[in-house]
Chain A
Amino acid sequence: MDENLSAFRAIRSNTESALARRILIGTALTFIGLFLFLPLVLVFSYAFREGFGMYLFSFTTPDAVSAIRLTLVAAAIAVPLNTLFGVAAAWAIGKFEFKGKSVLITLIDLPFAVSPIIAGLIFVLLFGSLGWFGPWLRDLGISIIFATPGIVIATMFVTVPFVARELIPLMQAQGTEEEQSALTLGASGFQTFRHVTLPNIKWGLIYGVILTNARAMGEFGAVSVVSGHIRGQTNTMPLHIEILYNDYQMTAAFAVASLLAFLAVVTLVIKFMVEWKAHRDRDAAARRVEQGNSP
């Protein structure tokens, strides 16, 4: 009797009262709604407030076309290179044991830890007119700062960690047994990677690439330092948004912003799918183990 009572009390006092639950859920919903959902709604609402025609017109001005083109160029260079880097780094870190591994992981995270303004600053100190290589580059007639190369390099720097961060835990968790079996059966190293490793990390890789792409296209601080804001020449989409916004061209600013916001939403959807798939695979594996144990 006494035991039952204390068990009952344990269950009772282990869940919050309905009121406390409602308050907590309400607080969380309000917080997320105010800080995340409302700004997102505002972007699309302002983008379309003068109609679909004006929305489309925002992308046809020469400055907008040039900004979109430059953003695509920067992403087209930064994303594949950082993907290659991420896969290589995850292979070395996830599949092998060596000293200084945690130092290497910290170094990969470094670009995420420093301010984007400092990321821009270090390249100005290297390639700017008063920087280390400035006079030399001037003699050769090459401009990096206030030109496309600087924007590409700054974009590459700030997006270094993202594919690697996704893949390292995945490759570590998957171990090396499957690859070893493939090698034992006579597959070459590349075949093993292509047919064994790649299918296992596929979804994490896709999310890593999409996130890198979203960050590359959306980078503002670092690009802002190295760009020089030359209209029609060194403006990316985020910098174009800044100019439009400061010119009080709100609809156009939010129209361009809505493209980047849409990309962010797509990124979140892919992340959601990746996690859902991983969850499903885990459940399926657990079921297989259970069935194997009970004949």
Chain B
Amino acid sequence: MTPSSVIQRVRLKQTSVLPGFGLSMGFTLFYLALLVLIPLGGLVLFTGTRITLDEFWVKAIADPRVLASYRLSLGGSFIAALLNAVFGLIVAWVLVRYEFPGKRFMDAIVDLPFALPTAVSGIALTTLYVHTGWIGRWFEPLGIQIAYAWPGIIIALTLIGLPFVVRTVQPALEGLEPEIEEAAASLGATRWQTFVYVTLPTVMPSLLTGFALAFARAVGEFGSVYFIAGNMPYKTEIAPLLILIKLEQFDYVGATAIGVVMLIVAFVLLLIINLLQWWSRRHQL
């Protein structure tokens, strides 16, 4: 028996001393099954038994209005996640490396999109960016429309994804050994070279994880976009809104077909995020 397996055995024995595993595990599984797994199973069952392949094709893929909504949801989320990757990295960098007035306030307010209801951020952003709004009025003379057009959608999607990049990159930057950067610098690298060739590759797994989390969050987002988008078919209509519209017309098949596509996208993203997290954990060791 190797020493590590002895330790493992002892650990297992030690943890099993605590009571309540059966009760807590049983309740956890029961609750999850009732509230999450069975309802999601209902969606899968509905898709499998009540939607034919032809219907699925017509409702979820061949419809140009639906296709336009996928393009907007995925494209807008991608641009928003990209903006978050760039500015989120800067925010995380500034929070970890520098001292400045308002730093603690900035660190605290980064989590606002987690706690602020999407309907509130939605009406606030729309009111800011309409042509008479505090910010919108400066773009009106330039002929740039933000609210009720795609820039507004991207702003809303950027807001809700903002904490993800900052909060995944921040610990990675904090854990960075200063010796590595010092070594690069003492070998003659400029600050910029050190950042590009040493710092950035080290935080890259975390940055990608944050990007994927922000992207996944944005793809499913509804509330904040709903108010600022203007919701014009083919133009500013996101995929989640189309599900709601179909449900209001009692078109369960159409709504579910689009929902399944969105769900597949969400699961693929979840898989990618888990792989990225696994990669960044390995990277840090």
Contact = CB atoms under 8 A, between A and B. Distances in A.
- Chain B interface mostly: helix
Interface string B41-81: 01101100000000000000000000000000000000000
A193 B40 CA distance: 33
A9 interface: yes
B15 A97 contact: yes
Nearest to A81: B31
Contacts of A17: 191
B102 interface: yes
Interface stretch (A55-63, A220-228, A286-294): A220-228
Given A9-B185, A107-B36, A115-B221, A40 B112 contact: yes
Contacts of A156: 35
A260 interface: yes
Given A115-B266, A218-B119, A125 B42 contact: yes
Interface residues of B, number: 98
B210 interface: no
A221 B113 contact: no
Interface string B114-158: 111111111111011000001100000000000000000001001
A108 B227 CA distance: 30
A213 B272 CA distance: 30
A31 interface: yes
B204 interface: no
B108 A272 contact: yes
Interface in A183-220: 183, 189, 192-193, 211, 214-215, 217-220
Interface residues of A, number: 107
A34 B125 CA distance: 10
A35 B162 contact: yes
B220 interface: yes
Interface in A225-278: 225, 238-239, 241-242, 245, 250, 253-254, 257, 260-261, 263-265, 267-269, 271-272
A120 to B, nearest CB: 8
A268 B222 contact: no
A96 B112 contact: no
Interface string B206-243: 00000000001001111100110000000000001101
Contacts of A32: 91, 106, 109-110
Interface in B8-46: 11-12, 14-21, 23-25, 27-28, 31-32, 35-37, 39-40, 42-43, 45-46
Interface of B: 11-12, 14-21, 23-25, 27-28, 31-32, 35-37, 39-40, 42-43, 45-46, 87, 90-91, 93-95, 98, 100, 102, 104, 106, 108-125, 127-128, 134-135, 155, 158-159, 162, 178, 181-182, 185-186, 188-191, 194, 216, 219-223, 226-227, 240-241, 243-244, 247, 250, 252, 255-256, 259, 262-263, 266-267, 269-270, 274
22 contacts: A10-B182, A13-B189, A25-B94, A28-B90, A28-B94, A31-B91, A37-B109, A40-B112, A43-B124, A106-B270, A107-B37, A113-B220, A116-B240, A124-B255, A126-B39, A183-B19, A193-B20, A218-B118, A238-B223, A241-B120, A254-B124, A257-B119
